[in-house]
């Protein structure tokens, strides 16, 4: 469903982006592992994630496995953003945010992310991101 270029839809898209980032942070930091039902609130059935030119996920289930892997490596997640005003056109957006991670070994990492995405029926269908580690430690995307 393509959203028209109106202020109310722009506001709706900003809310969707902010809710997604806040919810992902909560899912990563909660005591229990996230569930597929929690992810399907945000991701369309056709969801795909590309990171630094590599297809990382072809479904919500793949993303759930990715979250499990990240939760095994990191004890705390802090998503800050959007760092700048997101660009929004119809059902497409670009957003810049930062991910702060604390490893189980206590080491902290900061990763800058720039993502473009497409909404379908108010859910993320496609997410393409470029990541860059801000800190000296190695980021495993």
Longest CA–CA separation in the chain, Å: 47
- What does the alpha-carbon distance between residue 83 and residue 104 come to, in Å, rounded to a whole number? 26
User: At 98, is the pLDDT very low, low, confident or very high (cuts 50, 70, 90)?
Assistant: very high
Does 30 fall in a domain?
A: yes
| Residues 43-88 pLDDT 10s | 999 999 999 999 999 999 999 999 999 999 999 999 998 888 899 9
Number of H helices, E strands in the chain: 3, 7
Per the CB < 8 A criterion, the answer to whether 109 and 137 are in contact is yes
On whether residue 140 sits in a domain, the answer given is no
Per-residue pLDDT, 137: 60
The CATH number linked to 84 is: 3.10.450.50
pLDDT tens digits along 10-48: 888 888 899 999 999 999 999 999 999 999 999 999 999
In a domain, 57, yes or no: yes
In a domain, 13, yes or no: yes
- Whether the bond between 82 and the residue before it is cis, its omega within 30 degrees of 0, is yes
Residue 136: band (very low, low, confident or very high) from pLDDT cuts 50, 70, 90:
low
Residue range 110-118: mean pLDDT, rounded: 95
Average of per-residue pLDDT across 91-117: 94
User: Per the structure, how many domains does the chain have?
Assistant: 1
Residue 2 included in any domain = no
Q: Which domain holds residue 78?
A: 7-133
Residue 2: what pLDDT? 46
Q: In which residue are the tokens 């506001």 written?
A: 11
pLDDT of 8 strictly over 80: no
d(CA 17, CA 101): 20
Q: Is residue 138 part of a domain?
A: no
């Amino acid at each position: 469903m393509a959203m028209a270029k109106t202020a109310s839809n722009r506001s709706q898209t900003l809310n969707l982006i902010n809710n997604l980032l806040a919810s992902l942070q909560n899912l990563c930091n909660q005591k229990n592992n996230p569930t597929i039902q929690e992810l399907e609130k945000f991701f369309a059935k056709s969801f795909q994630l590309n990171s630094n030119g590599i297809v990382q996920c072809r479904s919500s289930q793949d993303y759930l496995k990715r979250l499990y892997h990240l939760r095994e490596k990191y004890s705390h997640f802090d998503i800050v953003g959007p760092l700048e005003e997101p660009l929004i056109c119809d059902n497409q957006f670009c957003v810049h945010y930062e991910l702060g991670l604390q490893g189980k070994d206590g080491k902290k990492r900061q990763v800058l992310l720039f993502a473009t995405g497409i909404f379908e029926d108010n859910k993320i269908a496609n997410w393409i991101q470029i990541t860059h580690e801000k800190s000296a430690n190695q980021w495993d995307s």
